[in-house]
Amino acid sequence: MQAILKYLVFALFCIAAIDHPPLREVKIKGYAQGTSYAVSYFASDSLVTKGQIDSILDVIDLSMSLYKNNSSIHQFNQSEKGLMLDEHFAAVVQRAFEINKDTQGRFDITVAPLVQLWGFGPQKIGSFPDRATIEQVLPCVGMDKIELKGSFLHKNKPCVTIDLNGIAQGYTVDVIAGFLLQKGIKVFIAEVGGELRISGPKPDGTQIRIGIEGPVDGQPEASSIKHIISFKEGAVTTSGNYQKYLKFGNQKVSHLIDPKTGYPLANEMISVTVFAKDATTADGYDNALMAMDLTTALLFVAARKDLEAYFIYKRADGKIADTLTTGFKKLLIDPK
């Protein structure tokens, strides 16, 4: 999914203790899953290398990337009855079932054929689908058509295919964060495609800052930082429709597809930023919240103690507005 988050990392200073070597910042950057990634951590030595991070990303890509013909997800989509899953694939699918149930089907990994029909999959299209084409595909969509039995993901219809892009990047961030913690690293920023997980504060006691972007009113394709937030531990992800879209003629559609209707979302939502304890959860829920109307989304988040959210939406008069939950408001800091 396209990210609309930028983390702001200012000059970082190490504080040396008498009986501990000074901590220094280590930065690792690269490309994976069709996007960029960045890892920044504090340690007395290079406890984690770029090669180790790349190895983790390669393993996950071979599991869940639709753009690798030898990936496990590609094998599942080509299968008649299903596939035995590796631990990463199984963990993501299990969480997907939980979020699907909690959001009453708004989050659905079987939306893959619709994503492809509308031109957001691996294959290019020359025009948008008509109603008849969509109706042919809808019987292959729905998580009631797949079942996870142990590590085997069974499909009830051969035509069922899945797309994990709505949750896999968040999961990847959590895997990287887990690896850093395993190495004894307590202060870090792990980011893949703008999906973030943080553990802080910095060694000098200052906060890690995160800038949240949104569209500029009257300039729908431009963006600016709307708020700056900070927290000691947790994850933040964003789903939005104003930067990732396709256009044929006068028709412009979002990359977020409603699995129930088969059509791209066309409600008042522009973007949703979610804060949660882990990035898998935040990533899974941000798309589902985009599929709700604003009132429903606010009530949904308010009923769940482990979620907070910031919403940018279009008012009835066409103006861009925003709102946020009470818990998210507590994360805001003065940019000065």
Give residue-wise pLDDT tens across range 233-250.
999 999 988 777 787 767
- Residue 62: predicted pLDDT: 96
What are the residue ranges spanned by the domains of the chain? 5-46+167-329, 60-155
Residues 41, 180: contact at Cβ < 8 Å? yes
Q: How far is CA 246 from CA 5, 128, 238, 241, 252, in A?
A: 21, 9, 19, 10, 6
Q: How many C-beta neighbours within 10 Å does residue 124 have?
A: 7
Alpha helix ranges (H) inside 68-219? 72-78, 87-102, 112-117, 131-137, 168-182
What confidence score (pLDDT) does residue 231 get? Answer: 95
pLDDT reported for residue 220: 58
| Residue 182, pLDDT score | 97
5-46+167-329: CATH homologous superfamily?
ApbE-like domains (3.10.520.10)
- Whether 172 contacts 192, CB under 8 Å: yes
Give me the residues of the chain with pLDDT under 70, please.
1-21, 218-222, 249, 335-336
Residue 11's pLDDT is what? 32
* pLDDT 10s digits, 17-76: 345 668 899 999 999 888 899 999 999 889 999 999 999 999 999 999 988 889 999 999
pLDDT on residue 254:
85
Structure tokens at 148: 């996870």
Query: Which three-class secondary structure state does DSSP give residue 148?
Result: strand
CATH topology classification for 60-155:
T-fold (1.10.3980)
